[in-house]
């Protein structure tokens, strides 16, 4: 095998492994790091994923959705969605919920391709969509963590304000 052929095979293999070197299996949730937020996609096999996003034209993540904006369920190649970003397999709710059968996840994901949904950052976003496919329950850790951060900041600000008020 020539160097160029070897490099092409190696590049293809690297694209199908996450940042930990793991290969996705049908039904796996994939977390894609996109700056301050994470985009969630569902691997369905043969380098294909299904995800809620791609708002706007073209492939991949599209523009950052705003509340009330319509989004589409898309089937795309994993490499086209993640581009050069970091991604990892993250079935983070497997200890909390029993995952659905891989075949059921893939069938439902494919059946929903082309559907249009309203994006709601707190109520139903790409993570809700992905976890609903895998576990049958829409859940979003990012929203829970953001709410906790908000309340921790609010509690800190309140404590400082009360402290200042009590000193007067």
pLDDT over 70 at 53, yes or no:
yes
pLDDT of the residue at 71: 86
pLDDT of the residue at 141: 84
3-state DSSP assignment of residue 73: strand
Q: Which of 25-29, 72-76, 130-134, 150-154 has the lowest mean pLDDT?
A: 150-154
> What is the fold of 3-139?
endopeptidase fold (from Nostoc punctiforme) (3.90.1720)
pLDDT tens digits for range 69-119: 788 999 999 999 998 889 999 999 999 999 999 999 999 999 999 999 888
Q: What is the mean pLDDT of the chain?
A: 78
pLDDT of the residue at 96: 94
Do residues 38 and 142 touch, judged by C-beta distance below 8 A? Answer: yes
pLDDT over 70 at 156, yes or no:
no
Question: pTM (2 decimals)?
Answer: 0.74
pLDDT of the residue at 35: 78
Q: How confident is the model over 34-55, as a mean pLDDT? A: 88
pLDDT over 60 at 59, yes or no:
no
Q: Which residues contact 141 (CB under 8 A, 6 or more apart)?
A: 92, 127
pLDDT of the residue at 145: 55
pLDDT over 70 at 138, yes or no:
yes
Residue 52 or 11, more confident: 52
| pLDDT band, very low/low/confident/very high, at 147 (cuts 50, 70, 90) | very low
CA pair distance 9, 25, nearest whole angstrom: 19
From residue 44, alpha-carbon distances to 105, 113, 133, 154 in Å are 8, 12, 11, 41
Catalytic residues: 39, 51, 126
């Amino acid at each position: 095998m020539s160097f160029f052929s070897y490099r092409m095979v190696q590049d293809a293999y690297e694209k199908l492994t996450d940042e930990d070197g793991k290969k996705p299996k049908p039904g796996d949730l994939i977390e894609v790091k996109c700056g301050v937020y994470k985009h969630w996609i569902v691997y369905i096999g043969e380098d294909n994923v299904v995800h809620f996003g791609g708002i706007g034209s073209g492939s991949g993540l599209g523009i950052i959705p705003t509340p009330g904006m319509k989004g589409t369920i898309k089937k795309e190649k994993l490499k086209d969605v993640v581009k050069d970003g970091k991604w990892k397999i993250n079935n983070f709710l497997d200890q909390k919920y029993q995952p659905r059968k891989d075949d059921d996840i893939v069938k439902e994901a494919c059946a929903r391709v082309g559907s249009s949904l309203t994006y709601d950052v707190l109520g139903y976003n790409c993570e809700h969509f992905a976890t609903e496919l895998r576990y049958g329950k829409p859940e979003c850790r990012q929203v829970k963590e953001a709410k906790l951060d908000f309340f921790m900041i609010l509690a800190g600000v309140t404590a400082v304000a009360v402290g200042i008020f009590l000193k007067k």
